[in-house]
Structure 1
């Protein structure tokens, strides 16, 4: 539920947004009544001692500072700083005579919605709005069995400085009504969020002992007040390098496996999406979901990132030619800049050691080695270190996964077959896979080798001419002559000789296809000799 959706509730009839319209899309997680006065030192200590969950919609009448506009403005700044998403002001014209323009300006500058309830009405009750908002939040939670994308979407809507792990854990705690414990380095407690908050005084000094008692187990039954609680370990979905573990503590009954899994997924995705830095947005998780063909996961992430993944019908792979090295951030930036000029959307991220680029099929450009990345020099610098493969016509994430797997398994073989090709295509690596499968079948392999044996014994130039003509020159005699540095008539003569010696025409299908396979296999085996 957002602030804008709150405005549609029956209890808000006649209410008016007087400032901060830029924040109407902020998520509302709870409602809170606050009546702070002028920020004295005592009040400041009280304010700092309080814990604010973020995404609170505040209710106030400014009763103690009705005539002090500066105090009103200062409180708004404090509310916004701790993650509150708006303020509903009651009894304007009764307690606060009028909303001052200075307050409006502060709220507008902070994108902090200031909502004025119907003026001059003393019969309004806070409880009506509180009941309605909490009921809608509860009903929304009941409808949504998968809450990962919901929570991440809500935290992504917060100002960058408020996107923190603690904020996420508070949202998670409120959503599941459980205490949440995040530990690192052999169960040193990193962050603990208690639910309800009064539980802290009961279990704070016992929690570390319970974690040690749980050890590597999944669930521990513990005494909790006058009842029992369940300390549970969430699935270990986080990177081993982080040494992070997530636990939940629930009163009376344990959480289900699905809720535990989603809790851990929330934390893992938060770490990856924002890369442990507030607001640093990366798309590695979405790229991973596409290549792994995790359909549901991909759809949820795409919704979060607001990207139409169905438009991403082309994939580019930049595979390190030599031993994997550290991720090249310069290459990532170059690809982002280059492909963004042609495609919207575009996803650029590393998947394992390979840089992957998803785009909408580029129109009006063949991307030859002279124009790729703007210059031949830049292309050659990149292609000397990376094998570049373009996978076209991807209709689904399943297609992307198949293209990725076949490319990774066969790019070296494809490069042996097509040494002059600047950018390999999916068809090239699939054909290389076919050739390798044929090479594993002795009888079939011998048939193709036999078809070229007459050429080998007759003229040493015939097989190289056949290879260049079919594999490098796209069956163009003129291009073949250019690549071999011979006259066009020489190429024509050699092709006629090939037809006479093999009984197969290199210029007509289906004969040329058999010769194509034979030439490719011969080139591969020659490279391996």
Structure 2
């Protein structure tokens, strides 16, 4: 079994902690510990709480610092955490950062049996690290938590587009803290999910017995074939850790339940599986899936990463995108992955430029109602580059929105700029220092600094658009730009000079 929340409260690091809401959750089992902060409603809805992520038995530590003045966002966090299966929150520094826990927050938590544990108020001596250490140690002593029932309950609630074997394996990986794979009798890895997500293990080599590493532990068990001629095996693979037979049997139970409820088709080739294989650079798997789906991978050259306003219309948006793209491309793959709709397409048959195809879709009335933004990655020469570009976007997605808050069409070059700047920071590059110093004279004048950022980053040097974004007359924009040019001793109409300040403005916004 896992560790009941009431047992965790007995730890020395939680001395003086008070359960101020959701006391019935004290009987629930904690399976994992995490740290939570959120800095905007958009991140809460679309970035942090993803539709295919579930926080089974998770207990979170927070100070509510970034939402300390926003009651609505505090309540939204409680609702989202509860819906995703979390047990509760430990709130630090009440009376220091967060003035107090509002009764309305506590009422919502009580109604949902979601525990809120308040650490001693106005105490700046307590530290997150102490509780993190003790709770983690306690959880490590209970590796055989009974997770199958909770996972099956959550699987019964997932939306139709997430009813895939990948969703099931992702949940199992997060709970067992192990890589999870489904392998055919022939030794082919049909599905796999990594834990941690950046794991570099070669599943194909491990399942074929070609890796000799004492630190890698694995267990496998045959799945019920449910009348099929082919047999499949469930593998749990762990780096530097211990696996138990209990975990394996529970995982088998969960997978077989998914197959029973969703149907055996979840084991067959799907566009979701193929896109996932491409983005994870799983070469053997993606070529086999492509052959089964009659997709020519060599023709794929363009990727769209589509962010939507809501999850309610995902299937409708995917259908709409499919219909639109098939007017222009011979090869089209569209599916929902990691909270985004991912498009891979190629072999364009239109006289339109491929960028115009994307822009025209984004400017349609349908898209304006449903699509937040599209990140456009063209001219992919190698299939491996799709995965590289996708990971780059996932790494910098929040920075992209911070630097370009009003943008809906992102070319991949914007992500490359941010990536190069962050690499420069890590290396203490003199180029970054030079770029920052180039706008030092403007920093004292916030109005001019803001104008330059809007002009270069948000309006792409379009004076009329800049005036609309700044809510001033276009002549005011012209006047400010003249002031800026005089202060910086530059000509913003010259491309190479404006590029320097474009990059400097990116750095400025990243640091805000």
Q: Please indicate the TM-score interval, normalised by the length of the shorter structure.
A: 0.3 to 0.5
Larger radius of gyration: 1
Q: State TM-score, norm by structure 1.
A: 0.44
TM-score, normalization by structure 2: 0.46
The structure, 1 or 2, with the larger RCO (C-alpha pairs under 8 Å, 6+ apart) is 2
